[in-house]
Amino acid sequence: MQQKRSEAIVMDRTDGRRIHVLGNDVTIKISSRDTAGAFTVFEGVSDPLQGPPLHLHRDQDESWYIVDGEFRFEVDGQEIYASGGATVFAPKGSRHTFQNVGTIPGRIVTTVVPGGLDLFFEELETVAPRGTRPDEAKMLPIFEKHRLELLGPPLAARSVMNVSAAD
């Protein structure tokens, strides 16, 4: 980790490093490299019905500020619905995921404390680039290195499995 910056950082709406992460686009606004690992801030855009797989961070708290859209979160089994202007928090060690349940792309600003999730995203993008099917065998060592656990599929996939099981 580099030394903490001594000057202010300003990111306009279109500024930042864009990364594709498992079907979602994120833009790193403040990298953990900028904060000597103290925190990371990024903006994510999720298409309707999209969201990350169920996972946990052993060492990081995560909060989401909903800019646009309607989302369903799951944090340790608790179902939470949130839309523009709401903030959701998941403490380190919690099992969590979210899904855009709206009909248009949704935007979320995420803060992770301490930082490092941006570095995880950078590595994950190298083994699961846009347009490829993610290979769990290649992803798991990256999850382990960054002290994250992949626990299950995204909410959309679980919804499909539950519908199939009910038939």
User: pLDDT 10s per residue in the chain (167 long)?
Assistant: 556 667 898 999 889 999 998 878 899 999 999 999 999 999 999 999 999 999 999 999 999 999 999 999 999 999 999 999 999 999 999 999 999 999 999 999 999 999 999 999 999 999 998 888 888 899 999 999 999 999 999 998 876 555 444 44
Angstrom CA distances, 19 to 10, 42, 101, 143, stand at 19, 10, 22, 17
Task: Report the distance separating Cα 28 and Cα 32, nearest Å.
Answer: 9
Backbone angles phi, psi at 122, to 5 degrees: -60, -45
Q: What is the DSSP letter of 140?
A: H
> Could you identify the residue written with the tokens 């990256």?
142
